[in-house]
Amino acid sequence: MKVTVVGAGAVGASCAEYIALKNFTSEVVLVDIKEGFAEGKAMDLMQCASLNGFDTKITGTTGDYSKTAGSKVAVITSGIPRKPGMTREELIGINAGIVKDVTANLVKHSPDVIIIVVSNPMDTMAYLVHKTSGLPKERIIGMGGALDSARFKYRLAEALDCPISDVDGMVLAAHSDTGMLPLTSKATRNGVAVSEFLSAEKLVEVEEATKVGGATLTKLLGTSAWYAPGAAVSVLVQSIVCDQKKMIPCSVMLDGEYGESNICVGVPCIIGKNGIEKIINISLTDSEKEKFATAAKAVRDVNGDLGF
Ligand code: NAI
């Protein structure tokens, strides 16, 4: 099965690497606008194949979308990342044009494609893909919750001083510093509510550290992160390609779910060979409902800048 990754930068190359390492698909095509860049990244990654033991074929192209024809999944990572001190929302001016163009090229050559949107501001870019691609809503998935939930689990395990595999938790709502909703009420350690182990103050600290997880890394790295984003994308792609039907929080077009419509924000979804196979409605506390609505309103305001 063919998987295309547009943008061979930090995040795109990391996506291609993790997808290849997991060896579940036959081909990955990397696309970039920078002359020779995707070809170079593909060659470098292919020279890992015998060392790391994968058979996935990775190729690169400078903007020739005919090479992406027949892709089952396409991941859009093209665009600029934020610099320290910037919000994801500040990227909209440049990234909207790039994402719109890339989407048109992908759909032209792969009309049955499932698109995973990564470029920021991600919830708004997913909405843009809905408004411009003509694809059914089941085939447009925004990647944010998978990464933010992994960051939440990292912070929970740190606070609990326990292995990460012992904790579970999800982050819903917006992929933004203020709009993320880590569900502390439902987070568990081996099935036991984390509130049994952590004080209310500590839980607020975990929540806050999770919400600024991306900004913390941007400050340290001088640009946004790439390992965990690439790994998060690979989990989504594998759930589609292998029809695993994993439940993963994704930014999807809502039609009344969680009290919202005509907006993409993060909710728990079953991801399988058809893309979003089901949106799962879980019960939220009154405070979580209020935070979800506030986050959705902020995303709607940013969507307004697209002019639809
Ligand atoms: P990067 O600058 O390393 O790579 C972006 C690549 O896109 C560059 O190689 C550039 O040449 C390419 N590009 C630009 N315009 C293009 C076009 N029209 N067609 C094809 N390629 C094009 O940036 P990085 O760090 O890889 O980040 C990419 C995007 O992903 C950013 O918008 C960033 O904010 C976002 N991001 C989203 C995350 C999420 O959880 N949704 C997590 C991390 C980053």
Answer whether residue 307 shows pLDDT above 90.
no
Domain ranges of the chain: 2-143, 145-303
pLDDT attached to residue 185 = 95
- Of all protein residues, the one whose alpha carbon is nearest to atom 29 of ligand 1 is 119
pTM value is 0.98
The ipTM (two decimal places) reads: 0.99
In tens, the pLDDT along 40-62 reads: 999 999 999 999 999 999 999 99
3-state secondary structure of 204: helix
In tens, the pLDDT along 215-261 reads: 999 999 999 999 999 999 999 999 999 999 999 999 999 999 999 99
Q: How far apart are alpha carbons 123 and 135 in whole angstroms?
A: 17
In tens, the pLDDT along 270-282 reads: 999 999 999 999 9
Q: What percent of the chain has pLDDT over 70?
A: 100
β pairing state of 73-76 and 114-117 = parallel
Backbone angles phi, psi at 159, to 5 degrees: -70, -35
Q: Is 41 in the pocket of ligand 1 (CB under 6 A)?
A: no
**Other beta carbons less than 10 A from residue 212's beta carbon:** 15
What is the per-residue DSSP string for 43-95? HHHHTTHHHHT---EEEEEES-GGGGTT-SEEEE--SPPPPTT--GGGGHHHH
3-state secondary structure of 180: strand
Answer whether residue 89 shows pLDDT above 90.
no
Q: How far apart are alpha carbons 137 and 218 in whole angstroms?
A: 31
Q: Is 248 in the pocket of ligand 1 (CB under 6 A)?
A: no
Buried b (16+ CB within 10 A) or exposed e, 97-134: ebbbebbebbbebbeebbbbbbbbbbbbbbbbbbebbe
- Of all protein residues, the one whose alpha carbon is nearest to atom 32 of ligand 1 is 119
Among the residues of the chain, which ranges form H helices?
A: 10-22, 37-46, 49-52, 92-109, 122-133, 145-160, 200-211, 213-221, 227-241, 286-304
Answer whether residue 82 shows pLDDT above 90.
no
Question: Given the CA of residue 148, which atom of ligand 1 is nearest to it?
Answer: 40
Residue 12, annotated ligand binder?
yes
Q: Is 249 in the pocket of ligand 1 (CB under 6 A)?
A: no
CATH number of 2-143: 3.40.50.720
pLDDT attached to residue 308 = 78
The rounded mean pLDDT for the chain is 97
Residue 82, annotated ligand binder?
yes
Q: Is 8 in the pocket of ligand 1 (CB under 6 A)?
A: yes
Question: Given the CA of residue 12, which atom of ligand 1 is nearest to it?
Answer: 26
What is the spatial order of strands in the sheet that 192-193 belongs to? 167-168, 188-189, 192-193
Dihedral of the alpha carbons of 147, 233, 275, 191, in degrees to the nearest 10: -40
Q: Is 92 in the pocket of ligand 1 (CB under 6 A)?
A: no
**Other beta carbons less than 10 A from residue 159's beta carbon:** 18
* pLDDT, mean of residues 158-186: 97
Does the domain at residues 145-303 carry the CATH identifier 3.90.110.10?
A: yes
Question: Given the CA of residue 117, which atom of ligand 1 is nearest to it?
Answer: 41
Find the 158 Cα to ligand 1 centroid distance in Å: 30
Find the 189 Cα to ligand 1 centroid distance in Å: 35
**Residues annotated as catalytic (active site), given as ranges:** 175
